[in-house]
Chains A and B, each alone.
Chain A
Amino acid sequence: QSALAQPASVSGSLGQSITISCTGTSSDVGGYNYVSWYQHHPGNAPRLMIYDVSNRPSGVSNRFSGSKSGNTASLTISGLQAEDEADYYCSSYTMTSTVVFGGGTKLTVL
């Protein structure tokens, strides 16, 4: 199972919006509404930000939103804040009953 494709890095200015893409296949992202997004500050445990494509766990800011079109899922962060700077990973359930992560995207807040 190959990792889902994410851009290696994205950047945005304070207050702006950014979108991170996560591209898979019809065997994972495109075939199931089980895409999740994680925020990871190195040294800490990953934090779940979005599950089941577009649902936010309690406690996650509504500045974070998720969507999916075909084999590509997206995470949008609006009103960028300094503390949003982190690594972001997507994951998806797959047709072989496994879970696959994306390669990760480093977000820099300018």
Chain B
Amino acid sequence: EVQLVEAGGGVVQPGGSLRLSCVASGLTFRNYWMSWVRQAPGKGLEWVANIKQDGSERYYMEGRFTISRDNAKNSLYLQMSSLRAEDTAVYHCATSRYSGKYGAFDIWGQGTIVTVSS
């Protein structure tokens, strides 16, 4: 069974940092573009970042986050810094068996909750 499992969410103060992780199983992780997508409470889906199979290309919605991966550990990461209240959201990792760089996310994790609050 293909599975993405996120971890690392929690409550953090404004201005703080947090590192999310996502472990993949049931697929050959090194073959896939990987993305982070978030959903704030009561809001829609928002793409955050993605990374190429070998890590040589990375694209971001904004500059406070850093995406990385460790193919040996089947793991994806999102380092978030200078966090703001508006970063409060459920963060999903996602990928595609169709066209991972271009969206078409057919594999999603259940998400990890990040709350930025003092």
A-to-B contact residues, CB < 8 Å: 1, 3, 32, 34, 36, 38, 40, 45-46, 48, 51-52, 55, 57, 87, 89, 91-93, 96-104
B108 lies within 8 A of A51 (CB): no
Chosen A-B contacts, 17 in total, with CB atoms closer than 8 Å, are A3-B44, A32-B102, A34-B99, A48-B96, A48-B98, A48-B106, A51-B96, A51-B98, A87-B44, A89-B44, A91-B45, A96-B59, A98-B47, A98-B60, A101-B44, A101-B47, A104-B44
Interface size on B, residues (CB 8 A): 25
A38 to chain B, nearest CB (A): 7
Closest-by-CB residue of A relative to B46 is A101
Say whether B71 faces chain A, with CB atoms less than 8 Å apart.
no
A28 to chain B, nearest CB (A): 10
Instruction: Name the A residues within 8 Å of B109 (CB-CB).
Output: 45
Instruction: Name the A residues within 8 Å of B75 (CB-CB).
Output: none
Given contacts A34-B99, A34-B102, A51-B99, contact A45 B108 (CB under 8 A): yes
B59 lies within 8 A of A98 (CB): yes
Q: Per-residue CB proximity of B60-71 to A under 8 Å, as 1/0?
A: 110000000000
CA distance A10 to B61 in the complex (A): 29
CA distance A1 to B61 in the complex (A): 8
CA distance A32 to B69 in the complex (A): 27
B24 to chain A, nearest CB (A): 14
